[in-house]
Amino acid sequence: MENWLNVLGWFLSVVTAAGNGFVIFLVAKSRQLHSRSANLFVLSLAVADFGVGIAVFPSNYFCIYSMACNSRVHMAFFWLFLHCSVTNLCTLTLDRYIAIVHPLKYNISMTERRPGMVIFIAWLIPFAISLSLIVGMYATNSRTAWKVLRLTGVSAFDIVSCVLLFYAVVRILVAARAQSSQVCEIELQLQSNVSSTKAGTSRRRRTPNTARLIIALVVFFLGCYVIVNISVLCQIFSCEVCGEKVGFAATVLLVLNSAVNPMVYTLWKRDIKREISLLISHLSILGRPYLEPTVNAQLGGRAEPNQLNSVGEPRPKQTGNTKS
């Protein structure tokens, strides 16, 4: 059982690093994606999830088979990226919460510099928690003190984050449905021909799709982290039910959560889907065979535009003058 979980964990780590690495490359490469603050939060979350893919199973494997690894530093490094993933998901949820629940305040709240400050805080909080964990583990060798540190620095942090995310996603769902019903009523009142009916249908589909992304991310996160925190609490209080296999399965769930996030972006975020389709079409154009050298070889030199017919083939050469 443990071997299968190990193989699954390594597979998910590769998928997590590859998927989030692709999202990082796509957002950093495309200038069109820089215009929206939500994509900056997506980029920061992708960096944190990329770190989860590297910091969990690969670093754990290195620590097991390397004498130079410090278990306390590894544990702090481990929780740093996991907490960064949590805080960056909270910032992305906050951005969508303001945009959907308080749309009139969005431009005032999310100014040009505000996303950078929020992202900085999202990385600063996990760094402070990890630093306190490692300082506490070096300051004392008491097992009771270590349990208190894990209880306050890990479980309490995750429980508070889960409660805030659950509250936000419920408010987003209620607000999205209310906005959708209002748009439907307005469109039905103004409906006079078939074109207005089509416009009303497209608008009805836009509002839920904006909320669908964050709802999917948060619901899957809550499902994974509730199980993980139950496992952590069992380990802290030495429950007989939770053994090494349960802790190993909880670690796999942490990586699975970070592996699913880039798939959700590519499925439900319109601008990222558009950039992916543009990238695929660009690569397909580059992969097509270039036919001009073949035409040039048939003409014995460079093909001029007036030497080709309508289908791109060389015109037959005229050998003599025609009489009128």
- Top-confidence range, 64-68, 99-103, 135-139: 99-103
| Domain limits, the chain | 2-285
Question: What's the CATH code, domain 2-285?
Answer: 1.20.1070.10
Taking a C-beta distance cutoff of 8 angstroms, is the pair 165, 218 a contact?
Answer: yes
Residue 312 structure tokens? 């791109």
Q: Is 111 a residue whose pLDDT tops 80?
A: yes
Could you give the angle at which helices 143-150 and 194-236 cross, rounded to 10 degrees? Answer: 170
Q: Which amino acid is at 298?
A: Q
Taking a C-beta distance cutoff of 8 angstroms, is the pair 247, 253 a contact?
Answer: no
List, for residues 113-137, the tens digit of each pLDDT value: 888 999 999 999 999 988 888 888 7
List, for residues 155-204, the tens digit of each pLDDT value: 788 888 888 999 998 998 888 888 777 777 777 777 765 554 444 444 44
219 vs 230: CA distance, rounded Å: 17
237 vs 108: CA distance, rounded Å: 46
Taking a C-beta distance cutoff of 8 angstroms, is the pair 208, 220 a contact?
Answer: no
* Report field, pTM of the whole predicted structure over 0.85: no
Element (H, E) at 72: helix 71-101
Residue 8 structure tokens? 């699954």
